A and B are shown apart, each in its own frame.
Chain A
Amino acid sequence: MTLALANTNFSFMHKAKIIIIEDEFFAANHLKDLVNSLGFWAVDVYHSGEDFLNSTNWNFDAAIIDIFLSQKLNGLDVAYKMKERKKPFVFLTANQDSHTLKEAARLQPISYISKPFKPNDVRAALEIIAHQLPPMLEIRGANGVELLNPNDILFVKSDGVYIQLYTLNGMVVQRKLLKDIIDQLPDCFLRVHRSYLVNINFIEQRSASYLTIKGHEIPVSRGFKDKLSLL
């Protein structure tokens, strides 16, 4: 069995990939250092909601979002998008009035971090995120068992008694049935065909009979169209 692990950037070094959306430069950098120092990976920092939506590839596990962003989109708008994509998030806010908190609570964040934040507040919030993320997948290869973050998987293709796991950095084959891995994947995975499971966060195009993820055309069966149309 051939394992294509050479170009795969597995996330076993970090508990989760975190993005930070905070318009204040120093606070964002401070937070990034803190996140990295706590065993997480701050993959990107965005200084506005617009900046985030325009440039994200959704390849992250969770987000820390400042509620009051200086441009048109505020943190609540961004959080709404996160919820659509089933990405957990933490609110960062200097405001503690009940109106703001009620509005924020409707979006069901993982936690709140109050400004000025203390390291332990950030740590607690991140640990909750880590606890709620789907567990890492154990990938057996030539170098033994390695861990793969399920959120890094673009889609899974079934090929007889094997499955092919496509990530941004390559593909890995495992001897498993498709039905065996479904339960180990987070909610962002959707079955669109008898032989395909896709990560909805990476869908770029879709038509009546197929969808596209990073250049891959994936067929969509008639029986799974309805689920897909709900997205």
Chain B
Amino acid sequence: MTSSPTDEFQKHYEQGKSYISTSLYAEGIESLNKAIAIAKAQDLKKEYLQASIELAETMRKTGDFRRGIDVLLALGNQPNHPFEEVRRQGRLAAIYHEYIKDDPKAQFDSVTYYLNPAIALATKNDFQTEIASLKNEYGYLVSRYNDWQEGLPYHLEAAGIYFENGDKQNYIGVMTKVLTLLIQNTQDHQKIDSLSEVLVAEAEGNGWYTAERELYGTLSKRFAALGNMQAYHKWRTKSVEAMLNYAEAIHNRQLDNIRVSYETEQFQNEAKTNAEALNRQEARNRELVTYLSVVGLLLLLIAWLFFRERQTKRVINRVNKDLQTANEKYQMLIVESNHRIKNNLQMIISMLEYTGKDVNPENTRALKRMSGKIHTISALHKHLYVDVHNPRVDLATYFNEIITLYTDLANDSLQIHKNFDQVSIQSERLVYFGLIFNEMLSNTLEHNKAQSKEVYISASRHEEAYHFEYRDGSEHLSIENAGTGNLLIRQLINRIGGQNMEFDPRIGQYKFQFYA
């Protein structure tokens, strides 16, 4: 928590006065200058005047009269602050009183120049203490410069004011001056003794060491002058004791001041350290808040991303599930279709078999050829679906099925030598390859009269193209005279995009090229 400017001023101002009261003038001046700087910066007029007057008074005490005068004159007349104006003029009077010693006239003029208006202003405003102080000063001046009797009333008036206001220390001080005047200027021992007795009684035991010192010193001087050495030593000793007590008191207060100053400094340092620590802590707190805010935002962002990812995953899962369901349905439909196709092919084959019971051998042959074609088509269906739908089927796999079929039909009278390079073909196209091969085999079985029929078939790769060759070694009708079987073969080869077809009827050889 920061203190107000007035508090800051007061702190330095009181500190300065405390230093000065214990004769720590350098420290006092430094504190007062700080107070003045604060008052000036904060435009605290009254406080500025108070501190400046105190500074000038300190300079008086240290003998730096010229600078004290400069400070007070620089303040100028202060009609709006009568108390401070009284003090300003009173201090100027006091400084001039001490400063000008060589020229009594100038001294008197200078001092009265400031004292008179000060007394008038203090009286006008009823500043009792200031009146007492100024009149005491004036009495002292007049006593020295004019006549002791002229100054005496001022001293007595000042003493009366002090007494009335309960300021016995200053009262004793003023009355000691009165006693001094009486001693120096009269032989009224009764009066002097009486006053001395009263003052000693008032002064003793109160710790007013300066007042005691002045009083006892005055008494010792009196008894020295009277030749009463015993009394002289008594009061001289007491005066010295008072001085020593004063010195000790001052010393103790100085130590107190130093201790307080040290502790204050310690406290200030500690406060400063604490403030710095607090600032650092606050900075750390701010950083922490910033960090936590960033972390919070990141967490929110992560939570949002996580939520969005979950949403996305949910959508993806749903879509995947839908796709999977659709795919399963699709697969199921394919399985069912394949199943029905094979069942229907089975039914057709069986119907042909049934029909073949009652027809002549020629028709039976035709039905067998038809049945063979259907078996050829159905052989492909075996490989179209094995757990999953296979849109492409290996030519060798398919042809091997057909070879098995015809080998069975021919009752071991057919030997097929094969050589297939690996090539997979779309099922829609491959079925025509099967029908071509089927037609060629049917021709061989029908037209090759050899007891043991040997067929050579190959599909070999040459760069991008495949060369197909079929040969059964038997003589066939030329292509022009061939029946529907050969015509069908040619048409089917065209259908699959076969090129450069060659047919050698002498050895029953078919050749063509195709692309996968």
Contacts and interface: CB of A to CB of B under 8 A. Distances in A.
Contacts of B345: 115-116
Contact of B343 (A30, A31, A94, A98): A94
Interface string A92-119: 0011111000000000000000111111
Contacts of B349: 30, 116
Nearest to B334: A97
A24 interface: yes
Interface size class of A (residues with CB under 8 A): 20 to 34
A94 B387 contact: no
Contacts of A33: 353
Interface of B is mostly: helix
Contacts of B510: none
B342 interface: yes
Contacts, number: 63
A56 interface: no
Given A96-B386, A97-B385, A117-B346, A26 B378 contact: no
Interface in B358-390: 374-375, 378, 382, 385-387
Given A95-B335, A120-B408, A115 B346 contact: yes
A91 to B, nearest CB: 14
A205 interface: no
A68 interface: yes
Contact of A27 (B346, B378, B387, B405): B346
B347 interface: yes
B214 to A, nearest CB: 130
A115 B358 CA distance: 24
B385 A96 contact: yes
Contacts of B405: 118
Nearest to B332: A97
25 contacts: A24-B347, A24-B350, A26-B351, A26-B354, A27-B346, A29-B354, A30-B349, A30-B353, A30-B354, A31-B350, A33-B353, A94-B342, A94-B343, A95-B335, A95-B338, A96-B382, A97-B387, A115-B342, A115-B343, A115-B345, A115-B378, A116-B345, A116-B349, A118-B404, A120-B408
Interface of B: 335, 338-340, 342-343, 345-347, 349-351, 353-354, 374-375, 378, 382, 385-387, 404-405, 408
Q: Which 4 A-B pairs have the closest CB atoms?
A: A30-B350, A94-B342, A26-B350, A120-B408
Interface of A: 24, 26-27, 29-31, 33, 68, 94-98, 114-120
